[in-house]
A and B are shown apart, each in its own frame.
Chain A
Amino acid sequence: MSTPMAAWLTLTKCEARMVVRDTAGLVVPIALPMLVLVMNASAAAGQEVPGGRSALDMHVLPLVFAIVLASIGVINMPSFLAYYRRAGILRRLAVTPVSPLLVLVAQLLVSLAQALIGIGLAFAVAVLGFGARPPAAAGAAVLAMTLSILALYAVGMVVASLAPTPNSAVAIGLIAFFVLGAVGGMFGGVDALPDVVAEVGSWLPFGATVDALSHAWAGAPVPADTIAALVAVTAAGVTVATVWFRWN
């Protein structure tokens, strides 16, 4: 006899299979951050920053992790949801006993697993290949990671809500990813940005993620304004998605 839990587990398993079979979709969230890591790790590992940690720990790792989370949350997940809507899969599920909401939850969970795998792989390469160290404040790292995931996935839900087609979801997701990344220090660090842009970027989820993780790696608590920025983006994203998300 089926239960809602069994249905949800089967659905999540199927979502995971769909993601694994979409090999092209795995390239950006796994390969791109790895490329950024490998290209920067050698030089950054030997560069000490104030506080006694390496630039690899303080700057490169937070940036790489932010790229993993943003590419999955802002590009991959919305494109899957937009495809499901376009292909009528959510509509088909609407005539079964399960709620299409379960698809959303399953997709979020699978995306989260993808993010953790991407981060785990990048961290393993950084530790084993370049001598990176774990965060000095593990609790702050967990908090930073959780808030960052929520904020970036909330942005992804906004993309999924506003994009009428799968292609437009990818396009909007890519634009959001690169804009958030650019003002958040993805292309050469925030020091190179005009002050106003850097300030705005630090409040947006990519920059706030880098900042929060950087503090955690340094052993410092995540600043209250960074937490506030991530929470505000999450709240705004969930509100917009709740109002605008269409099942068909």
Chain B
Amino acid sequence: MSEPAILVAHLHKRYGDVVAVDDVTLTVEPGEVVAIVGANGAGKTSTVEMVAGLRTPDRGRVAVLGLDPRRDRAALRQVLGVQLQEPYLHHSLTVAELVDLYRSFYRAPRPAAELLDVVELGEQRGTRFERLSGGQQQRLSIALALVGRPKVVILDELTTGLDPRARRRVWAAIDALREETVLLVSHAMDEVERLCDRVAVLDHGRIVALGPPAELIAKAGASSLEETFMALTGTEPEEA
């Protein structure tokens, strides 16, 4: 049996008195696209940040392609692409300069033109990051997550705040990923249904459901993933 691309076993994280992640166990197989959904404060971002090595778990184990995110930091960073919740980039650099900068970090980066083509930002090459629209900033952030030809991609809040057209463009970019394993955090149930092989529903730090969207919908006797989410968590997706 092959090793999972992402292994999360009995993960715990607490901030003071608040339990953010409570015994989360999840595996993502190579090539799979898996979403983590949940209300605000459900523990989604804490979970993916521990997978990315940005936070240290209190307990439990994380492995990405067999690598420990903290111990094997250098090796992992070459095979992991991360898009953080907010697009944190040098504000006065242009799109082309940022792509060149991030390309310089990796051994075998994707060509700049190919990357900008995937996220349809070729015409904005000379535009400074601070002058891009929110959707363009988000797409550039996704491009930079893909720049090093990662085997595993973490995308946190993929299309939050984007207009419908921008969302479709981002979806197309994700559809274009054929070989990568993707761990996606999203509030948008339509997006999750469209893009993901499986979905993990997180509620108060615990996984309350895990499986293919159609299977979860059928189990809940619901007509959509949105209804399923509401039934499982008692939360409106809009609140999330």
Q: Is the CB–CB distance between A98 and B105 below 8 Å?
A: yes
Asked if B103 contacts A2 (CB within 8 A), the reply is yes
Q: Which of B77, B92, B107 contacts A96 (CB 8 A)?
A: B77
B202 → chain A, closest Cβ, in Å?
21
Which of the segments B82-90, B171-179, B230-238 contacts the partner chain? B82-90
Q: Are A17 and B93 in contact (CB under 8 A)?
A: yes
At the interface, yes or no: B74 with Cβ under 8 Å from chain A? yes
Stretch at the interface among A7-15, A56-64, A116-124, A191-199: A7-15
A-side interface size class: 20 to 34
| B57 sits at the interface (CB 8 A) | no
Is residue A94 within 8 Å, beta carbon to beta carbon, of the partner chain?
A: yes
A6 CB-CB contact with B under 8 Å? yes
Query: Judging by beta carbons under 8 Å apart, are A95 and B90 in contact?
Result: no
* Contact, CB under 8 Å: B77 / A88: no
Docked Cα-Cα span, A22 to B92, in Å, equals: 8
Q: How large is the interface on B (under 10, 10 to 19, 20 to 34, 35 or more residues)?
A: 20 to 34
Contact A6 B104 (CB under 8 A): yes
Q: Across the interface, which residues of B come within 8 angstroms of A97, CB to CB?
A: 74, 77-78, 105-106, 148
Give the secondary structure class of A's interface: helix
Contacts of A96 in B (CB 8 A): 77, 102, 105-106, 148
Given contacts A10-B100, A95-B80, is CB(A2)–CB(B92) below 8 Å?
no
The residue from A11, A17, A92, A98 contacting B92, defined by CB atoms under 8 A apart: A17
Q: When the two chains form their complex, are residues B106 and A14 in contact, meaning their CB atoms are under 8 A apart?
A: no
Known contacts A7-B105, A97-B106: A14-B78 contact under CB 8 Å: no
A-B contact count (CB 8 A): 64
Interface residues of A in 92-110 (CB under 8 A from B): 92, 94-98
In the complex the two chains form, what is the Cα distance from A106 to B100 in whole Å? Answer: 16
Contact A18 B90 (CB under 8 A): yes
Within 8 A of B (CB), among A1-47: 1-2, 6-7, 9-11, 14, 17-18, 21-22
Of listed A7, A9, A92, residue having the most chain B CB within 10 A: A92
| Known A18-B90, A92-B88; contact A1-B105, beta-carbon cutoff 8 A | no
Q: Which residues of A contact B84 (CB under 8 A)?
A: 88, 91-92, 95
Please give, as numbers and ranges, the residues of chain A lying within 8 Å of B213 by CB-CB distance.
none
Q: Is the CB of B101 within 8 A of A2?
A: no
Q: From residue A77, how far is it (CB to closest CB) to chain B in Å?
A: 16
Flag whether B38 is at the interface (Cβ < 8 A): no
Flag whether A200 is at the interface (Cβ < 8 A).
no
Contact A21 to B92, CB < 8 A, known contacts A88-B86, A95-B53, A97-B74: yes
Which has the most chain A C-beta neighbours within 10 Å: B84, B89, B105, B109?
A: B105
B90 engages A2 (CB within 8 Å): no
Contacts of B52 in A (CB 8 A): 95
Does B91 sit within 8 A of A, measured CB to CB? yes
Return chain A residues, CB-CB under 8 Å to B74.
Answer: 97
Give A21 to B104 CA distance when docked, in angstroms. 22
| A positions within 8 Å CB-CB of B | 1-2, 6-7, 9-11, 14, 17-18, 21-22, 87-89, 91-92, 94-98
7 pairs of A and B residues whose beta carbons are closest in the complex:
A88-B88, A10-B104, A95-B82, A92-B88, A97-B77, A21-B92, A7-B104
Q: List 28 A-B contacts (CB under 8 A).
A: A1-B107, A2-B106, A2-B107, A2-B109, A10-B101, A11-B101, A14-B93, A14-B97, A14-B101, A17-B93, A18-B93, A22-B92, A87-B91, A88-B86, A88-B88, A89-B88, A92-B84, A92-B88, A94-B53, A95-B52, A95-B54, A95-B77, A95-B80, A95-B82, A96-B102, A96-B105, A96-B106, A97-B106
